[in-house]
Chain A
Amino acid sequence: MQLSTKHLLGIKNLSSQDISLILSTAEQFKEVLQRPVKKVPSLREVTIVNLFYENSTRTRISFELAEKRLSADTINFAASSSSAAKGETLLDTVNNILSMKVDMVVMRHSASGAPHFLAQHIPAAIVNAGDGINEHPTQALLDAFSIQEKTGSLQGRKVALIGDIMHSRVAQSNIYLLKKMGAEVVVCGPPTLIPKHIASALGVSVSYNIKETLAWCDVANVLRIQLERQNQVLFSSLREYNIAYGISRQLLDSLNKEIVIMHPGPINRGVELNSDVADSKQSIILQQVENGVAVRMAVLYLLSGRTAQA
């Protein structure tokens, strides 16, 4: 069985079979990560460049670790310390790198659609590590893997995405994925942070009431307030956001069930999540990070076959 795509640009164009294949392959890589030697030789002949035009800690380290655990050679590129700062175009930069015999590109960019543009012009396989406010497919895959691991299955699972839906590529990828895999999705946040037509466009339900949403869901994926992407005032203060939509111990204790708390990181403590929730045993935030490496290994492994001829 193979993926139906040469690149991983987003979840939007993946089939549910593709998603299942990635998740089941990731399970085997998770086993690899528990061994004394946490490494397999599968991508020994592959060179991968990590092109990061936007800051990242978790995703970059996670991809780099995944590549190393697969025995691939890796190069790291950060736009801030490169010729991009001198005005070189994206395509020139990438073509220069590829001329040094690089097989795969992992890319993060602040412009939505940047990896899609690149995919039309270069032969190498591309993995989108986040593009603007469009998609962050590997985050959605690792979230799905973590939900499946914790609760058994995605089918029929009630998942709430809470917070800044408007600016969140994590939310968009999660919605595509969860809907394809048969989960029910509610998005919840202040009206200014939820796109107007999201219900009809993506088939999710919208709620503006945090307590009702938490009472409904099995899993709450709490998103970061993306201050860097908001160029106008969308809520009055962080303190007010925390009071209206932040998740506190008290709020969780008022529910008559235990829900799973997730967050893609980095957490704004005291804004969307209080510390007594983020660090509680209900939270699987650190398991998400651990699973991220296995999921990215699966994606790179499954896409690597398509680079042999290029």
Chain B
Amino acid sequence: MKTLINNQALLTIIDRLADQLLIAYPDVSTTVLVGIQQGGVVVSNLLYQALQKNSKGAIVEHGQLDITFYRDDVRHKILAPDTMHLPFAIEGKTVILVDDVLFTGRTIKAALDALFDYGRPDRVKLCVLADRPEHRQFPIQADHIGQVISTQRNDKLKLRVNEKGQAELLLLSA
């Protein structure tokens, strides 16, 4: 097990991503943040806090999306679902999907399917903490990337929150 992004570096990345988002989507009233269960929710919560701080209290709505029922491997493996919480309309909004690691692209494809069952957003953007671009299986790319990481196909990356509540990205080698 190896730490790829420690907590301090992770928070620096979050601050940078939050700045990027505020420049790219200045109208916070039509922008919503949606974290994908489970790692994406951790990242989107951190981003939300950073946005609250940097945008001087302007409210950005944020929710969480669970893709369990939309997985394309549901026939092979039944998983218990996580909480879905989108307490606002996404109709006509800019939705920023947030995930921890962009890998094959399957999760994002499922997340888009799930999202459109809630309404028709104006546009959807993707923001990820880490990108593993050489292993993509779908034509899906992120709009905002914290860090590009070179990995082996079998590597497992995991966002872990330690007992002190600090998030870090770990490499669990195959």
Contact = CB atoms under 8 A, between A and B. Distances in A.
Do they bind each other? yes
Given A35-B117, A39-B117, A40-B69, A24 B80 contact: yes
A201 interface: no
A36 interface: yes
A22 to B, nearest CB: 10
A24 to B, nearest CB: 7
A21 B83 CA distance: 13
A301 B118 contact: no
Nearest to A306: B78
Contact of A301 (B66, B78, B113): B78
A40 B117 contact: yes
Interface stretch (A25-33, A93-101, A264-272): A25-33
Given A25-B80, A28-B83, A40-B69, A35 B118 contact: yes
Interface in A280-310: 301-302, 304-305, 308
A42 interface: yes
Contacts of B81: 25, 28
Given A28-B84, A36-B117, A302 B70 contact: no
B75 interface: yes
Interface string B87-114: 0000000000000000000000000010
Majority-rule SS of B interface residues: loop
B2 interface: no
Interface residues of B, number: 20
B174 interface: no
B15 to A, nearest CB: 33
Contacts of A41: 69-70, 113
Contacts of A2: 78
A1 interface: yes
Nearest to A32: B69
Contact of B75 (A21, A31, A35, A308): A308
B48 to A, nearest CB: 21
B76 interface: yes
A85 interface: no
B74 interface: yes
Contact of A305 (B75, B83, B116): B75
Given A1-B80, A28-B66, A28-B84, A37 B75 contact: no
B119 interface: yes
A258 interface: no
Contacts of A28: 66, 68-69, 81-84
B164 interface: no
Interface in A119-169: none
B77 interface: yes
Interface in B20-77: 66, 68-70, 74-77
A302 B60 CA distance: 36
Given A36-B118, A37-B118, A31 B80 contact: no
Contacts of B118: 35-37
Contacts of B79: 1
8 contacts: A28-B81, A28-B82, A31-B84, A32-B84, A36-B118, A302-B78, A305-B76, A305-B77
Given A28-B84, A42-B74, A305-B75, 17 more contacts: A1-B79, A2-B78, A28-B66, A28-B83, A32-B69, A35-B117, A36-B117, A36-B118, A36-B119, A40-B69, A41-B70, A42-B70, A45-B75, A301-B78, A304-B78, A305-B77, A305-B78
Interface of B: 66, 68-70, 74-84, 113, 116-119
